[in-house]
Amino acid sequence: MSELLKIDNVTINFGGLTAVDSLNMTLTEGNIRALIGPNGAGKSTIFNLVTGIYTPSKGRIIFRGQIINKLPPHKITGRGIARTFQNIRLFSELSVIDNVKIGYHCRSRGSFIDALLRSPAIKREEAHTHERALTCLALMELADKAEEVAGNLSYGEQRRLEIARALATNPALLCLDEPAAGMNPIEKEKLANIIRKIKEMGITIFLVEHDMKFVMNLAEKVTVLDYGKIIASGTPAEVQRNPAVIEAYLGKEVV
């Protein structure tokens, strides 16, 4: 299978701190790749680099053969990378379905003039957006909440809504930043199934997670990060046995 995302020797500094240090990583199309590591290891920073929120101090990020690290976030989304946020960032005063429709923004058309004129073509486009949003919501088992205000959803529902919104952008690569955080075991199991379903749709998944067990049952390959550097990479079983990982990750905190 072909390579979808290549992080090529990427470094980012914040003042004196090197949050990500000469990182190399390649994601294979159609896989679930997990990224684990203790708090502050630089996992979210990698997502921020990949989605264009941060620009690398050094190195390149290549997506489908093209350099993307100089593009602004909205263009990167257009190229096919979507994400969720570790600290939920929904449009919390808007309805659930509007949140998802906003995700479909980059795949639809309609200027302010179209908004005023509401031509039949634009009405069709709107109807299509609506359908599409409902589909994404149904996939995340949120269809019955469509008209609710996003901020009123439960924590677990908000996490799922973030995924629905990201899916609406029609991505080739979906970056999930600790999607199971704060969920109970039953919710986690449901989420794992949903993630598998998304993978079956042909979407590559880049998964940051704290919960080792959650990752182990899901990912083909696991990469372990500590202080911005990769300390181990391999199948879940390999990584679990790696003494450096046990030292750096499991030794530090009980998950």
Partner 1 sequence: MDSLLTNYISPYYIKIFTLVGIYIIIALGLNFISGVTGQLSFGHAAFVSIGAYTAAILTTRLQLPFLPSLLVGGLLAAVVGILLGFPILRLTGDYLGIATLGFGEIVIVVFQNMDITGGTIGLSGIAKNTSLSLVVLVVIFTIWSMYRLENSRFGRALMAIREDEIAANVMGINITAYKIQAFGIGTFFAGIGGGLYAHMIQYLNPTDFGFSRSFEYLTFVVLGGLGSIPGTILGTTVLTLAPEFLRFVAEYRMMIYGALMVIMMIFRPRGLLGGVNLSKKIRALKNKKKTTIPSDAR
Partner 2 sequence: MFWQQLINGITLGSTYALIALGYTMVYGIIQLINFAHGEIYMIGAFVGVVAVTVFQLNIFIALFVAMTVCIIIGVSVERIAYKPLRRSTRLAPLISAIGVSIFLQTLMTLIAGPQAVGFPQVINDQLYHIGSVTVSKVQVIILILASALMVGLQLIIKYLRIGKAMRAASEDYDTASLMGINVNRVISFTFALGSALAAAGGVMVGMYFNSIHPLMGVMAGTKAFCAAVLGGIGSIPGAMLGGLFLGVAEVGGVALGYGGYRDAIAFTLLILVLLFKPTGLLGRPIQRKV
Ligand X SMILES: Nc1ncnc2c1ncn2[C@@H]1O[C@H](COP(=O)(O)OP(=O)(O)O)[C@@H](O)[C@H]1O
Binding-site ranges for partner 2 (CB under 8 A): 44, 48, 53, 85
d(CA 49, CA 134): 30
The CA distance from 67 to 52, in Å, is 11
Least Cα distance to 201 among 110, 246, 140, 123 occurs for 140
The entry of ligand X, Mg ion, partner 2, none near residue 53 (CB within 5 to 8 angstroms by kind) is partner 2
Q: Give the residue with the Cβ less far from partner 1, 53 or 192.
A: 53
103 binds partner 1 per the rule CB under 8 A:
yes
Q: How far is the CB of 118 from partner 2 (least distance, A)?
A: 32
**Contact flag: residue 42 with ligand X (CB under 6 A):** yes
Chosen from ligand X, Mg ion, partner 1, none, partner binding at 230 (C-beta under 5 to 8 Å by type): none
d(CA 26, CA 11): 15
Q: Binding of partner 1 at residue 62 (CB under 8 A)?
A: no
Q: Which of residues 62-91 bind Mg ion (CB under 5 A)?
A: 86
Smallest distance, ligand X to C-beta of residue 151, A = 24
- How many CB atoms within 10 Å of residue 61? 26
Q: Which is nearer to ligand X, 43 or 159 (CB)?
A: 43
Which residue from 43, 159, 160, 165 is in contact with partner 1, where contact means CB under 8 A?
Answer: 165
Looking only at residues 24 through 43 of this chain, which bind Mg ion when binding is defined by CB under 5 A? 43
Minimal distance, residue 48 CB to partner 2, in Å: 5
By CB under 6 A, is residue 88 in contact with ligand X?
no
Distance of closest approach, residue 190 Cβ to ligand X, in angstroms: 24
Contact residues: partner 1, CB under 8 A: 51, 53, 72-74, 77-78, 82-83, 85, 89-95, 98, 101-103, 105-112, 114-116, 118, 122, 125-126, 129, 134-135, 138-139, 143-144, 146-147, 165, 169
Contact residues: Mg ion, CB under 5 A: 43-44, 86
